[in-house]
Structure 1
Amino acid sequence: MIAFFIIVVPLSGGATFLTLRNAMNILVAITPVLLLGLGQTFVIISAGIDLSVGWVMSLASVVSAHAIRASFNAGAPLFLAATLGFLAAVGASAGVGLVNGLIIAKLKVPAFIVTLGSSFIVRGMALLFAENTTVIGLPAEIRDYGNESLFYLVGGEGGGFYAFFRPDVTGAMLRQMDRIFTWPVVITAIVVIICMFILNRTQFGRHTYAIGGNMQAALRTGIPVERHIIKLYMLSSVTAGIAGFLSTLRFTAGSAVIGDPLLLSSIAAVIIGGVSLFGGAGSIIGTVIGALIIAVLTTGLVMMNVQAFWQFIVVGAVVIIAVLIDQSRDLILGRRGRGS
């Protein structure tokens, strides 16, 4: 929390940064990173890692685009076509997570190796299914699911606040219209709440912490560790699949490379949010804060006209500082515990 305010306060001094439109743009920007980070949170708390989620997101985008286009062209209503696209994305993603989990849990191959190898396989599958291009030809109306909002605020004379439907405005009033909580942001918020409940209020969450804290102790207490690890990697892939589906809705196309640059950002968000790379500690709300820090940081640097390579340097430095703070805190607490 301290790191959040240290970074946000200096960058939020400008009037442009504090606008409602910019705030909503930041929320839209963190949606895919946060969804990837949610699955990573569960996996890393259990002392694992999933390096395949970026390409799983890309595969889900391509598969969902094909499903939407094929079903709509076959005469399915738009909502049904979107539903089939969602099921295709989640199904393909869950399949990747199942394979990862089985190899890690049953064959005892390190998660780093398994997910690194599967990332190459999934990358090839995504490019193959997309025929090395972007999947287009989706119904134009599908864009509304990815870009319209829960609320609308139209400024100026004759404007107002609207809920659930977009006001019919043009010209200057259209330029003054702010979209508040686009549907991808709303869906991501729902997924965040579900993940918080699972991690904090269910036996599944308690087992995740126990496995990350001490796997041998978890085995001795009767926790089905192998089965649980399989579920964790399926969950990680499913959240990536949701991100891929939402990207298809947002851009009205399926991209075979859209998730590639987001992998490291999602891991950075988890680490900055306080999830321990050694397992057994972390929270969903921490990952949300970590994703916000990255989005606010990069947005603020863009508004300050900082060149792109400096943005990478700054984000990398923040990740290292976050890890150092986390280790220092554990060292201090450990010393206090021994002193008492």
Structure 2
Amino acid sequence: MSTELTTNATSASGARNQAIGRFLSRYGILLSFIILFVILSFAHPNFLSTANLLNVLRQVSINGILAIGMTFVILTGGIDLSIGSVLAITGVVAGSLVTGGDPYNPAIAFFAAVGVGALFGAVNGTLIARFSVPAFVVTLGMLSMARGATLLYSNGRPIPNLSPEFRWLGQGFVAGIPVPVIIFAIVFVAAWITLRYTVYGRWVYAVGGNVKSAKTSGIPTRTVIFSVYLLMGALAGLSGMILTARTTSALPQAGLGYELDAIAAVVIGGTSLTGGVGSVVYTLIGALIIGVISNGLDLMGVSSYYQQIIKGAIIVVAVLIDRSRNMNP
């Protein structure tokens, strides 16, 4: 009888621990964000001000758009280290079209930025999908090439005097909501619907889960892999256009380290680096966590050097959690 009671107690305890583990696996990132938000609310009186929260959302929108594209890439088991440099080249291209005495319509700059970004993404995707070159190697090389192209195009100098209509895309408001936040929301909803309800979304997960099985099932794996890098490049171009409009000048050094913030948001959000598991919803929360941490540390006067250390530590911890989850499903 004693042995039976002990066994039952052990089984009940094990079931309870599994339930807690499943709950934390599903909602842990959201709970972390809520706890962080509450702590910063008490840590600084200006954190909850409307102006500051809108500023956080405006800052998060750029990294959030990049992180959504990175989610698609990582879901297929890939990585893109070039997005910061692609953001820079698309920013100076867009800026060059809307400066001077006779600037182009902002819509032309918008499509030029997205198109140039998509072109860089297409090159990455072709080399990775068609020629099977490792994504790390291809995108690391593109990081350098795109940055060099940025410096050549701009002669290493900022491009100022952007038209007011173009600057509105980064600084304007619609019904009290910053325009970059509205653009980010549109991108997020489109990505969520794509991954959750479309055949293409299921293909992305399948390729990341097991590319050989996906190919055997008739999924055009090369096309899917190519497409996620194309999408990533286009979204990097969109982010470059928004950043240029927000900073009122096209800076050739823009985007440095942005790829790390995007990867951090995706990994913190629980997307597996091995592919096949993840969600743009949790990527959104991951981007918000990165943004809130950066904003809170800025308000408290913490040096940007320390902020880089903290972000790096967060990435390492998130990867360790991901590895633990894969080892103990």
Label 1:131 to 1:283 Cα distance change in 2 as closer, same or farther (>3 A). Answer: same
Equivalent residue for 1:302? 298
Question: Kindly tell me: are residues 137 and 21 of structure 1, through their superposed partners in 2, closer, same or farther at Cα, counting changes over 3 Å?
Answer: closer
- Within-5 A mapping of 1:213-224: 213-224=209-220
Decide which of 228, 245, 260 is 1:232's aligned counterpart: 228
Compute the displacement of 1:228 (Å): 1.2
Amino acid at match of 1:226: R
Q: Is the 8 A contact 2:80 2:259 kept in 1?
A: no
Q: Which amino acid aligns with 2:94?
A: S
Give the one of 59, 69, 72 matched to 1:29. Answer: 59
Amino acid at match of 1:144: W
Deviation beyond 3 Å, 4+ runs, structure 1: 329-332
Counterpart-to-counterpart distance in 1, 2:167 and 2:305: 32
Contact 1:36/1:54, CA 8 A, preserved across alignment? no
Counterpart in the other structure of 2:206: 210
- Is 1:116 the counterpart of 2:125? The answer is no
Mapped pair 1:200 → 2:205 = no
CA displacement, residues 6-38 of structure 1 (integer Å, 9 cap, x when unaligned): 322212213311111111110111121111111
Supply the distance in 2 between the matched residues of 1:144 and 1:99 (Cα, whole angstroms): 31
Partners of 1:54 and 1:261 within 8 A in 2? yes
Structure 1 residue 286, shift from structure 2 partner: 1.1
Contact 1:248 1:255 in 2 (8 A): yes
Is 2:119 aligned against 1:89? no
1:64 aligns with 2:94: yes
d(CA) in 2 for partners of 1:203 and 1:317? Answer: 37
SS of corresponding position for 2:174: strand
Kept after mapping to 2: 8 A contact 1:46/1:280: yes
- Equivalences for residues 166-205 of structure 1 within 5 A: 180-205=176-201
Structure 1 residues 32 and 145, CA gap change in structure 2 (3 angstroms): closer
Q: Which amino acid aligns with 1:133?
A: R
Residues 86 and 242 in structure 1, CA contact (< 8 A), matched pair in contact too: yes
Please, which of 275, 280, 283 is the counterpart of residue 279 of structure 1?
275
Which runs of 5 or more structure 2 residues have no equivalent in the other structure? 1-29
- In the other structure, the counterpart of 1:11 is 40
Partner of 1:146: 170
Deviation for aligned residue 1:309: 2.3
CA shift, 1:141, in A, is 4.2
**C-alpha displacement at 1:150, in angstroms?**
1.5
Q: Distance in 2 between matches of 1:24 and 1:277?
A: 31
TM-score (norm 1): 0.84
Determine if contact 1:45/1:208 at 8 Å carries over to the other structure. yes
| C-alpha distance in structure 2 between counterparts of 1:278 and 1:93, whole Å | 25
Identity of aligned pairs, percent?
Answer: 40
Assess if the C-alpha contact under 8 Å between 2:71 and 2:266 holds in 1.
yes
In the alignment, the residues of structure 2 paired with residue 187 and residue 130 of structure 1 have an alpha-carbon distance, to the nearest angstrom, of 27
- Count of matched residue positions in the alignment of Structure 1 and Structure 2: 299
1:291 equivalent in alignment to 2:321: no
List runs of 5+ in structure 1 lacking aligned partners: 152-179, 335-340
Instruction: Please give the per-residue CA displacement for 1:16-64, whole angstroms capped at 9, x wherever unaligned.
Output: 1111111111011112111111111000010000111111111110111
* Structure 1 contact 42–232 (Cα < 8 Å) conserved: yes
Which of 236, 260, 284 is 1:264 aligned to? 260
Residue 241 of structure 2 aligns with which residue? Answer: 245
Q: Decide which structure has greater helix share.
A: 2
User: Secondary structure of 1:73's partner?
Assistant: coil
Deviations 1:127-174 (A, max 9, x none): 1111110112322443233212123xxxxxxxxxxxxxxxxxxxxxxx
SS of the counterpart of 2:157?
Answer: coil
Partners of 2:225 and 2:178 in 1: CA distance = 33
SS at match of 2:212: helix
Asked whether the equivalents of residues 166 and 245 of structure 2 are also in contact (C-alpha less than 8 Å), the reply is yes
The whole-number CA distance in structure 1 between the counterparts of 2:277 and 2:116 is: 30
Task: Tell me the secondary structure at the aligned position of residue 312 of structure 2.
Answer: helix
The reply to whether residue 125 of structure 1 matches residue 125 of structure 2 is no
